[in-house]
């Protein structure tokens, strides 16, 4: 009744109001000449809407043209794109809400704003969950990667430190120290299904990012570092008289290096169907052998790459456990040198001497087998052939990154990098196109940083800065187009990367971290991050 009375009152007020007759002439003219998107874009409009290029029909009609409508329609008439090409045409010619309209801010500011979105609180797992407990806050990569990952975190930490987030650096170090204390190593990621393997061992380098000088913390971290080293060297005794055992290999002269491995030889839980299918295609090779090598490839972080394949075009030929990788052994050298230095500081002379000897021996073995003066490059070694592999890849920069290369070696590597690995948008991962995600044309943030820092520290500052400029141009261009920080990029075309077992992920921890670290080192590149042509 109240509603009816209110309606009657409103009707009565309306009846007493002066009548609006004809609109003012100017308003009428504006209305008469206004054209809707259907009027302006005709055939293009109908194609976009009828093909459901965007899920919501309102999306395209709210788009803003990047150039004159006549020019857009002339280009459309010439090419008449269809399907995916039609969407690409629209995104190239319009700023489309929710599609390519989010890259308007400064790249560094955007990264700083992303950190809180990627922070997670300490983990107390629900019974039956695959999550591992974590005592402190941490940062996830983003996308499908909902847990902390080992080697990702070092590159994430670089950006956190540059962006004034030191408490997060310290809390993640607490998490990793805790993982080593509980499991004897840092797993690939903080899930139960990752416990049988690790990832490239960056913990020693992470410790260098800490500002915590408390003696009790230093003692605890040194103990954890030595435990991690023992994990990687566990096969040292059983490798005597054998080519390899667990993660340890014996080179032809009896000296010791390391390889990637996995304690299990079953399909990975997170890629079960894919691994079963790959092993079936690899028959009559035993499925367990193929699955072990797939798992070892995951431990490498390069899952997957022609580095691990006998036939670069066939994943079924994976033989990761036959490969002695230059990146892993460079990181082991850094670990041994770090343990020696920390033991020396702690007053443990015997430990310092033992690990200095280990680092010295490893450096000599790397020089003997992995350094290829005639190429010139650092190469992975194939145990099955007794020769270096033919793969030219970005892992060759790790010896420069950890301070293992001589000045002459660094200069020679820089020459090879200029000739074979520098692309339009950054550093190539390998020189082969295989469809695997850790191959050309993809570029990855961690490899860019290893190259930049390694070259800059070894008398090649111009090349280091050139790679940084190219990479920031790629990241900036993709951000301007998509509003996202991506896991990987096509550095030939400066577009999102491809290949692999899952779609391109956004977030993205190590891309954010390396972008901030580069812009902190080269602030003059900030003005170019959205204009790769400069």
Residue positions annotated with a catalytic role: 303, 487
Task: Name the DSSP class of 417.
Answer: I
Q: Which residue spans within 368-498 are E strands per DSSP?
A: 371-372, 377-378, 381-382, 387-388, 422-423, 426-427, 442-443, 489-490, 495-496
Rg for the chain (alpha carbons), in Å?
28
What CA–CA distance (Å, rounded) separates 11 from 112? 55
Q: Which residue spans within 92-165 are E strands per DSSP?
A: 94-95, 119-120, 138-139
By CB neighbour count within 10 A (0-12 exposed, 13-18 middle, 19+ buried), where does 356 fall? middle
Of 385, 363, 366, 258, which Cα lies nearest the Cα of 310?
385
Give, in degrees to the nearest 5, the angle at Cα 148 between 143 and 154.
Answer: 105
Q: Look at phi and psi of residue 34 and say left if phi exceeds 0, alpha if psi is from -120 to 50, else beta.
A: beta
Neighbours of 180 (CB within 10 A): 21
What CA–CA distance (Å, rounded) separates 319 from 254? 22
Tokens read off for 347: 């007053």
What CA–CA distance (Å, rounded) separates 255 from 143? 42
Of 418, 402, 417, which Cα lies nearest the Cα of 458?
402
Token pair 């290893």 in the structure block, residue:
450
> What count of residues does the chain have?
534
């Amino acid at each position: 009744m109240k509603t009816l009375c209110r309606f009657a009152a409103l009707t009565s007020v309306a009846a007493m109001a002066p009548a609006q007759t004809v609109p003012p002439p100017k308003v009428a003219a504006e209305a008469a000449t206004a054209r809707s998107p259907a009027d302006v874009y005709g055939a293009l409009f109908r194609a976009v809407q009828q093909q459901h290029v965007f899920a919501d029909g309102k999306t395209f009609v709210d788009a803003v043209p990047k150039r004159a409508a006549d020019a857009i329609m002339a280009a459309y008439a010439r090419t008449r794109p269809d399907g995916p090409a039609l969407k690409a045409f629209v995104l190239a010619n319009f700023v489309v809400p929710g599609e390519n309209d989010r890259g308007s801010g400064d790249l560094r500011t955007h990264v700083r704003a992303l950190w809180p979105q990627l922070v997670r609180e300490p983990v107390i797992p629900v019974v039956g969950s695959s999550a591992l407990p974590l005592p402190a806050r941490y940062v996830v990569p983003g996308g499908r990667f909902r847990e902390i990952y080992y080697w990702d975190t070092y590159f994430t930490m670089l950006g956190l430190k540059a962006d004034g987030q030191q408490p997060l650096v310290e809390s993640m170090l607490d998490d990793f120290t805790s993982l080593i204390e509980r499991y004897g190593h840092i797993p690939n990621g903080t899930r139960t299904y990752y416990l049988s393997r690790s990832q490239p061992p960056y913990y020693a380098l992470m410790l260098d990012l800490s500002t915590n000088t408390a003696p009790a913390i230093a003692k605890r971290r040194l103990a954890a570092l030595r435990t991690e080293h023992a994990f990687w060297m566990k096969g040292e005794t059983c490798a005597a008289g054998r080519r390899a055992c667990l993660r340890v290999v014996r080179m032809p002269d009896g000296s010791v290096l390391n390889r990637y491995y996995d304690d299990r030889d079953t399909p990975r839980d997170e890629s079960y169907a894919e691994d079963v299918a790959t092993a079936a295609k690899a028959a009559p090779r035993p499925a367990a052998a193929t699955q072990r090598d797939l798992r070892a490839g995951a431990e490498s972080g390069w899952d997957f790459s022609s580095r691990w394949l006998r036939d670069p075009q066939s994943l079924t030929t994976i033989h990761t456990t036959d490969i002695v990788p230059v990146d892993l052994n460079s990181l082991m050298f850094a670990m041994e040198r770090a343990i020696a230095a920390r033991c020396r500081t702690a007053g443990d002379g015997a430990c310092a001497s033992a690990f200095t000897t280990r680092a010295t021996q490893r450096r000599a073995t790397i020089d003997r087998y992995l350094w290829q003066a005639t190429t010139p490059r650092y190469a992975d070694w194939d145990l099955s052939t007794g020769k270096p592999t033919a793969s030219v890849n970005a892992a060759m920069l790790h010896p420069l990154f950890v301070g293992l290369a001589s000045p002459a070696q660094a200069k020679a590597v820089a020459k090879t990098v200029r000739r074979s690995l520098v692309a339009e948008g950054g550093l190539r991962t390998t020189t082969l196109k295989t469809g695997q995600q850790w191959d050309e044309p993809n570029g990855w943030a961690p490899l860019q940083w290893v190259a930049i820092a390694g070259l800059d520290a070894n008398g090649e500052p111009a090349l280091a800065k050139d790679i940084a400029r190219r990479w920031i141009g790629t990241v900036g261009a993709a951000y301007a187009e998509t509003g996202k920080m991506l896991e990987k990029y096509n550095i030939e075309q400066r577009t999102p990367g491809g290949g692999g077992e899952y779609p391109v992920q956004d977030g993205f921890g190590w891309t954010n971290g390396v972008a901030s670290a580069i812009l902190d080192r080269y602030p003059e590149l900030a003005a170019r991050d959205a204009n790769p042509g400069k």
